Structures are given as C-alpha cells and as structure tokens.
Amino acid sequence: MKVSLGLFFLFMIILPEIKAQQVEADLVQFSGLVINSDSLHPVPYVNIRIKGQNRGTISDYYGFFSLVARKGETVQFSAVGFKGSQYHIPDTLKGNHYSMVQIMTNDTILLRETVIYPWPTPEQFKQAFIYSKVPDDELTIAQKNLDKMEMRERARQMPMDGSMNYRNYMNQQVDRLYYYGQTQPISVFNPFAWAQFIKAWKRGDFKKKD
C-alpha cells in the first residue's frame, strides 16, 4: 500500500512536467514577411491573429512579423485595401521556429455611380440660374480698382503712414530753410493756388457728398 501511494505521488509530480513539455513542444516561433502580390513590396501594419483566439500581432513598417503559435493553428492576415488570407501551420514540424512569406492581393472595390446636383429640383436650378448675379471679370474689377475718383477718395480717407509723415515734415523744414532770413510768402496771395482752387470749385470737389 505504501508503495502504491509513493508511485501515485511520484506520478502526480511528474505529470505536470510531462504536460509542460508537451505544450512547449507544440509551441513554435512563427515569423515571416508580408508582401504585395503586384509589386512584391512589403505591406506594413497587417493585422495578424490566431483563428478563433484573441492572440496575434501586427507587421512593422517593413512587413516583418513574429508571434508565438501552436502547431496546427491557423493564422489569419487582414489589411485595409487587401483581401484577407490565412495560413495553416503544419502540425508535423520538428523544430520550434518557422518562417514564411505571406503574399496579399489587392482588393478592388467598385462603387456605384453617384450624380451630385447643385439644386434639389430643375425648377430651383432654373430660377437660380436666371436671377443669379454674374460676377465681374478681371478687366472690370481692375477698372473699378483704378478709377481715379475711387483712388482719390481712398487716398483722402487713408491716414498717412510713417514714411509720409516723415516726408511732410522734411518738406516743411526745406520750405522754412529756403526762405530763411526773409518773409515766407502766404498761399492766399499765390496766383497758382487761386487757379487750382477755382478749377476744384468748378469740378465740384467742395460739394457735400452723401
């Protein structure tokens, strides 16, 4: 009886080790490269998982991958723009390492034709087409921007910048130094200034604008 109990306890100690060795023998380091079937270029960031289990990995930028799997399992490959594929790991492997090259095929999706209309109904389009304001062409826009009255009005309303203030100040200093030591003439007695005033008055420059 004592011999039987001893054999039983010995069997209970050895059994987990035997199972661990069997499990370790079934494991394999599954590595490989994913490439495109058209160009043979590597396919980056491919989803790789064991079928029916929540285990897997993704390929790197150069298409390489590596994961631990069991012999006889099926590995699934999926990526955006490619058809899904799978590979069955042979259960007759002798070693613990296995390498392969997985080829993926481009997945072409044909979309239905979509016609986009600017208006919901032909009547609304006709009304918008008739009453729409046609924008000016580039020549008309340039003529409006170069209109003398428009440019004069914009120049009158636009404040002087630093360079213009400096030029005005320097002109005043030059006029003062030009008449240094003598009486500076007054513009009210300048016949040329009066001629410019009369012309501006006839043009209506002094009329009140709305």
Domain map (residue ranges) of the chain: 13-104, 122-203
> What is the pLDDT at residue 11?
45
Strands annotated E in the chain: 27-36, 47-50, 56-58, 64-70, 74-78, 85-88, 97-104
Topology annotation, domain 13-104 = Immunoglobulin-like (2.60.40)
Is the pTM of the predicted complex or chain greater than 0.75? no
Q: Which residues contact 77 (CB under 8 A, 6 or more apart)?
A: 34, 46, 47, 48, 84, 85, 86, 87, 102, 104
DSSP summary character for residue 63: S
> What is the pLDDT at residue 20?
42
- Contact between 30 and 67 under an 8 Å Cβ cutoff? The reply is yes
Selection from 99, 90, 46 nearest residue 72 by Cα: 90
> Among all chains, which residue has been given the structure tokens 């987990």?
16
> What is the pLDDT at residue 66?
92
Quickly count: other Cβ atoms within 10 Å of residue 33's Cβ. 16
Per-residue confidence in pLDDT tens, the chain, 210 aa: 444 555 445 445 554 554 444 445 678 888 999 999 888 899 999 999 998 888 889 999 999 999 888 888 999 999 988 999 999 988 888 878 888 899 999 988 788 888 887 777 888 888 888 888 777 778 888 877 778 887 887 777 777 788 888 888 888 888 778 777 777 676 666 777 777 878 888 877 777 665
